[in-house]
Amino acid sequence: MLSYRHSFHAGNHADVLKHTVQSLIIEALKEKEKPFLYLDTHAGAGRYQLSGEHAERTGEYLEGIARIWQQDDLPAELEPYMNAVRHFNRGEQLRYYPGSPLIARELLREQDSLQLTELHPSDYPLLRQEFQKDSRARVARADGYQQLKAKLPPVSRRGLILIDPPYEIKTDYQAVVSGIQEGHKRFATGVYALWYPVVLRQQIKRMLRDLEETGIRNILQIELAVRPDSDQRGMTASGMIVINPPWKLEAQMNNLLPWLHSKLVPAGTGHTLVHQIVPE
């Protein structure tokens, strides 16, 4: 069952948080000359047209990227992310939104490499086409969780692994934990960044408990909520779990999240959170 299409959600508040964290991790990895691998297990289509039928139908980007696109007091922590978004939008108008693989493509260097997997029969060809001319990238129509066994450790022994499933099947909440466990067994020093939606808080609590029980150390949780938790349908918050976060990330997010929250949630509801759930 692959009914999820990211084109309905591209550029929403959850993407802003996810891609900001992704960009800051990539910038931190670039502080060393040595190459690294960017592995994106659930890569999506890559590029999203915000005036397209899907994005227009939900209008989610209007409460996400559109709220910060024209701000002139952007905190420094947003710069790498916003520069990548600007690259796809020459001029004033916000027309396209780059998904995680295109943000990585913008920020990675010549010596780095990308490994991208996507299963959807419509999104995979779009992704492959985006990367046709990029010799740093390998794009496969394959199961993202399998990559955590097959592609780790990278030859460079440095890497960021982004795990961003749609959670359209409940087993994703367990699959992400066992996937991380498999990856970590093979590559304990990698940076793992897992995105999660808060639809039912209990699901996230259980997922975090399962993750803590793996014994993996050095886990940071970052969350931005646009509404209070609820048992009604719909996502009220989203977050990133980062294993082996760059040392500056916690301070960067503490600095940035109040600003981001004030712009994305002008009504002031919801909350932000940066919390080391397991120490080093």
Q: Which residues are catalytic?
A: 164
Q: Which of 9, 17, 8, 7 is nearest to 237 (CA)?
A: 17
Is 143 part of any known ligand binding site? Answer: yes
Size of the site for ligand SAM (CB under 6 A): 21
Is 118 part of any known ligand binding site? Answer: yes
Least CB distance to ligand SAM at residue 110 (A): 23
Could you say whether residue 179 binds ligand SAM (CB under 6 A)? Answer: no
Could you say whether residue 166 binds ligand SAM (CB under 6 A)? Answer: yes
Binding mask 192-221 for ligand SAM (x = CB under 6 A): ------------------------------
Q: Which stretch binds ligand SAM (CB under 6 A): 2-10, 31-39, 62-70, 130-138?
A: 2-10
Q: Residue 260 in contact with residue 68, Cβ under 8 Å?
A: yes
Q: Answer positive or negative: Cα dihedral of 221, 152, 247, 249.
A: negative
Mutual angle of helices 13-29 and 100-107, in 10-degree steps: 30
Pairing of strands 37-40, 47-49: unpaired
3-state SS assignment for residue 111:
coil
For 264, phi then psi, to 5°, come to -80, -30
What is the Cα–Cα distance from 164 to 149, expressed in whole angstroms? 16
Chain positions 15 to 34 lying near ligand SAM, rule: CB under 6 A, are 18
Could you say whether residue 239 binds ligand SAM (CB under 6 A)? Answer: no
What is the Cα–Cα distance from 170 to 168, expressed in whole angstroms? 6
In the complex with ligand SAM, which residue's Cβ is closer, 100 or 252? 100
Task: Please identify which residue in 20, 26, 42, 207 interacts with ligand SAM, judged by CB under 6 A.
Answer: 42
Is 122 part of any known ligand binding site? Answer: no
Q: How far is CA 138 from CA 39, 87, 101, 135, 146, in A?
A: 10, 22, 11, 8, 15
Pairing of strands 113-117, 37-40: parallel
Chain positions 96 to 155 lying near ligand SAM, rule: CB under 6 A, are 99-100, 117-120, 123, 143-145
Task: Please identify which residue in 60, 77, 130, 164 interacts with ligand SAM, judged by CB under 6 A.
Answer: 164
- Which residues are part of a known binding site for S-adenosyl-L-methionine? 19, 42, 100, 118, 143-144, 164
Q: Given the rule CB under 6 A, which residues bind ligand SAM?
A: 2, 4, 6, 18, 40, 42-44, 99-100, 117-120, 123, 143-145, 164-166
